[in-house]
Structure 1
Amino acid sequence: MTGVTGRARRTGGAACVALAAAVVPAACAAPGPAGGPDDGRLQVVATTGILADLARNVAGDSADLTQIVPDGADPHSYEPTLRDVRDVVYADVALSNYLLLEEHAVVKMLDANLPEHATNVSLAEAATKYAAEVIPLVENLNLDTVWLGLRVSGTGQDLGATRASEVRLSATSIDGPGDLSGFLTETFGNPRAYFDSSDGIQAGDRDSVTLPVDAHTHMSWGFTEPGVYRLELAAELLADGPGAPVQLGRESFTFAVGVDPHGVAADLAADLGDGTDVEVLDAGHADLTVRLDDRDLVIQADAIGDPGEGDPGEGDPDHEGDPDHEGDPDAVGHPHSASLDPARTVISVPAKALAPVPAGRGFGFLGRAGDPVHLLPQAVLGKHVHGEIDPHLWHDVRNAKAYVQVIRDTLTAADPEGAGEYHANAGRYLTLLDETDAYVAETIAEIPRTRRYLVTTHDAFAYLGRAYDVEIAGFVAPNPATEPSVADRVRLTRTIRSLDVPAVFLEPSVAARSQVLAEVAAENEVAVCPIWSDAFDDRVTTYVDLMRANADSLRRCLTPERSTP
């Protein structure tokens, strides 16, 4: 982090900037607009509307504040524009949440284009100085097949990696009786294939995917014929600056598709000939993982065996902290994770994973619409790259207070002449946040404990649940490649009925693509009520509005005499 002395300012129109991936020649920014970088005020950029609102309450009139991700847009998938680059190149202070909340292109754009004098703050990490508490991102959808993603673990500092670095995973060979594809279905249902053997394996970016350092992404996997498949992946670190990529190794991963996985495991053990058992991975959340600090590839798995044997996401609370039950130290937030050797593991794709090829545009790599194909579901619809820590800290107001204190200190260091105003503004706002925290706690406490269950569409409310004693009962995660199965709907219906919840909650920004939740709610005669997570809209325009509106919505919809939206 680089501080600023006084009100240092970069002016003029000759500053060259690079947008996001920086794979094209740098673009040169035009001079800043009147009333912007040349008006004498501190120039501040914040990635999201929530961060911008917090900063605005501290800065007052002493800073000119620009928001990168527009209201109503999803910070997880927003792609920056040249206008955003122009705003960043004149900034004195940049505020991001990080913990992989923002689309990685936004972080790369910030880090590549901020002037040398600017201060660049990752608020979620810096806020721990003021007692902000972070919690693991727990993902448990109780799927009846393996939920298989990709992951990069470790920091890679010894290899020169920074938060703007990426790791590229490339398919070097795919063998099997049919075609194998690893793909992602984006928010509006459009597929994007990363690995696809239907047209041959291509060198370069054709059959590859890049991930930020210490990140995870969900994936869908398709297999056109039953049998045994082997996917070889090679990994390399794309660090900032000049120099060749750092090679991180390669491994072959074995899939048993529609055939007995234990028989495949026995054959593999016989081929190895060293007496070592071969594991069958057939349930839970698992990732094909690049370990940066070890420079190798493994399978990081949260559960092995029958999904009924335990909770693959949260682990057994009776053993938390017990060294006899600790797994891979890289598996932050997953106390029962294990790092499995790909050479001694078979990933099961059972016969029940057979489904028709979707009729939607772009699924031709899987076959003709309606043809049978074995699918491992992506589980969470949309581009969803994240880290091990839940980044939505602000749903606990006490964490938002820590953000405000970091912002106050940052603006004061960048502009000592404005210190008095920043401290006074922050003091008043912290008082308002104390009042907001009390309001949220008191409002939610009015909900009977037996009704205090949150069923929603987005796994973003763990901080709300922990801070205000709300049980996160589940969230909707349809198979992105097909219509949700009968089993998917049965599980959601069972949750609603067994907990006797009077309402489920839907973010207004995703209402158009969350039909399953609305349909199941209608079938069970429960209300659908609003809840806000990452973004503002025309009804909720400030952070205080967001927290109060969520508390009001929970009380109104979960309290028996108030159970109408």
Structure 2
Amino acid sequence: MAGVASASDNVVDVVATTPIVADLARMVTGQRARVSGLIPPMGDPHTYEPTLRDLRSIAYADIAFTNNLLLEQASLIRVVEQGIRPGTPVVALAENSSRYGGELIQLVEDVALDTVWLGMRIAGSGESFGASRTSEVELQATGVRGPGDVAAFLTTAFGEPEVYLNSADGFDRESNYKGDTATLPVDAHTHMSWAFSQPGIYEVDFRAQVIAEKGARPQPVGDTTVTFAVGVSPTEAGKDKEYVLNEGHQDISVDLDEGKILIRGDAPAKGDTRINYSYPPEQAVVEVPNSAIKEIPASAAFRFLGRPGTDTYMLPQAVLGKHVHGELDPHAWQNVSNAIAYLQLIRDKMIAVDPKGASEYTANADRAVNQLLDLDSYVRNRIASIPRERRHLVTTHDGYAYLGKAYDLDIAGFVTPNPSIEPSTRDMVTLTRTLENLQVPAVFLEPSLEGRAGVLTETAERLGVQVCRIYGDSFSEEVTGYIEMMRYNADSLARCLNRQD
């Protein structure tokens, strides 16, 4: 049912965050309820900010459905949970889909770098601080001691840096100062690039504080100092540094349950034989080897690192693009079986808020499940028609792990060897070798990215590789629903990867 949410017409009002969630909700509700989607068809759930109309829809809603697992912006989830009437259910479909047979995929980071890569993480529930899933934690750098300057930043998928720490422009240690600060939702982590202008031992001071709800006074969690050995032996950091962190994925972690800042990762420090890799910063040193020396690119966007063409010591962020997420991949709907789980969950929650509509919701859901079972077979058969040696997906958006696992499709991806700088000539050579070695006839871009993925499209055109469309998080004027989207993707993969030169 279409229309604007209202409190006066006795129609059950449903709010859904993403276009995919809204479409699945409409399959179940039919004409029985009114579904208001917050994010428009071409909107990006990772960045969308709610409008005044969204606030009205949320305020009148009888139930809200989200995808979550940190797919949507934390600010959007906060608006939904705080703007909805007390007692109104807010249902995170991906997080609850396992009860209906949904299968979630653990996020596996790329550790194929020859240096440690260092991110930032928020761990624990934060209940002692009055925190919830919509709370935020600030991790602020307050000082640096060392022979040169330190910067920490993220590089977007198209080469622009977002700076979080830059000692070259100084520090302000006042409690309300927001510079040199990374802000993360509870139970999330982010990748980060680190740059050091000179070799030597660096000590970077950090403090953390919790903002339980918007506008609330920050509550201090703790402070610490992280030591880096840049281009020198870690032994120069002192005898108290028992652990040398020089490989795998490590995070500067704010542990809300323990009330302290630690370093935690998925690889041990040198010589550590324990299973739980958690290190007090005062006992650890992060090694930045001489092999990490990189040339500062010519782009004006990177002038904060120093003069173009000069060297800097770089720990790259390992995964291209701003990428704040939890432990599970949120793009579950790319496996049609998970979308079926979404439907069944929506059905049961709708019956709970509108028992009189139980038979209608059940009939609609049964019909939709049958359509999705047919869809699952269609996608499986179309992808199976691609010769195994051609079944590689090369794209700029890392959102297709479920598609690959469910339908036997290799997610080849494209990440530069050093994503902390703009794609270089060497990066284009690497991409060229990837496409040549895999012998793929096509690469795939989402409609919203087609005009901006220059390196991928230019290299593809030079090699005579076709650039085709694929849909991930949203729809378009051409593709307006979930079933249509998945069929389109299957057809696009089969058509483009089966292309004969």
Indicate which of 89, 94, 102 corresponds to 2:72. 102
- Taking a change above 3 Å as real, the CA distance of residues 57 and 524 of structure 1, as seen in their structure-2 partners, is same
CA contact 2:201–2:237 (8 Å) conserved in 1: no
Which residue number corresponds to residue 465 of structure 1?
404
CA contact 1:98–1:123 (8 Å) conserved in 2: yes
Indicate which of 135, 146, 153 corresponds to 1:176. 146
CA contact 2:152–2:163 (8 Å) conserved in 1: yes
Share of identical aligned residues, percent? 49
- Taking a change above 3 Å as real, the CA distance of residues 300 and 411 of structure 1, as seen in their structure-2 partners, is same
Which residue number corresponds to residue 419 of structure 1?
358
Structural mapping, 1:154-173, within 5 Å: 154-173=124-143
* TM-superposed deviation, 1:152: 1.1
1:279 and 2:209 equivalent?
no
Which residue number corresponds to residue 79 of structure 1?
49
Per-residue Cα deviation, 1:168-197 (whole angstroms, up to 9, x for no partner): 111122112222122234466554322222
Indicate which of 128, 132, 144 corresponds to 2:98. 128
* TM-superposed deviation, 1:150: 1.0
Structural mapping, 1:486-501, within 5 Å: 486-501=425-440
Structural mapping, 1:13-412, within 5 Å: 36-140=6-110, 142-186=112-156, 190-202=160-172, 203=174, 204-240=177-213, 245-257=218-230, 259-260=231-232, 263=233, 265-270=234-239, 272=240, 277-281=242-246, 283-303=247-267, 327-328=275-276, 338-358=277-297, 360=299, 363-412=302-351
Find runs of 4+ consecutive structure 1 residues off by over 6 angstroms.
Answer: none
* TM-superposed deviation, 1:358: 4.7
Which residue number corresponds to residue 439 of structure 1?
378
Indicate which of 443, 450, 456 corresponds to 2:395. 456
CA distance in 1, matches of 2:436, 2:296: 32
CA contact 1:455–1:504 (8 Å) conserved in 2: yes
* TM-superposed deviation, 1:243: 7.3
| SS state at 1:222 partner | strand
* TM-superposed deviation, 1:411: 1.4
CA distance in 2, matches of 1:198, 1:227: 16
- Taking a change above 3 Å as real, the CA distance of residues 483 and 490 of structure 1, as seen in their structure-2 partners, is same
- Taking a change above 3 Å as real, the CA distance of residues 478 and 111 of structure 1, as seen in their structure-2 partners, is farther
CA contact 1:185–1:480 (8 Å) conserved in 2: yes
Which residue number corresponds to residue 16 of structure 1?
none
Gaps of 5+ in 1: 1-32, 307-323, 329-337
Per-residue Cα deviation, 1:253-304 (whole angstroms, up to 9, x for no partner): 12233x23xx2x212343x2xxx743141x4333211222232322223346
Total equivalences in the alignment: 495
Which residue number corresponds to residue 544 of structure 1?
483
1:503 and 2:472 equivalent?
no
| SS state at 2:375 partner | helix
Which residue number corresponds to residue 25 of structure 1?
none
Moved more, 402-411 or 159-168: 159-168
RMSD: 2.7
The amino acid of 2:181's aligned partner reads S
The amino acid of 1:394's aligned partner reads W
TM-score (norm 2): 0.90
CA distance in 1, matches of 2:450, 2:267: 32
- Taking a change above 3 Å as real, the CA distance of residues 208 and 402 of structure 1, as seen in their structure-2 partners, is same
CA contact 1:253–1:342 (8 Å) conserved in 2: yes
* TM-superposed deviation, 1:503: 2.1
TM-score (norm 1): 0.81
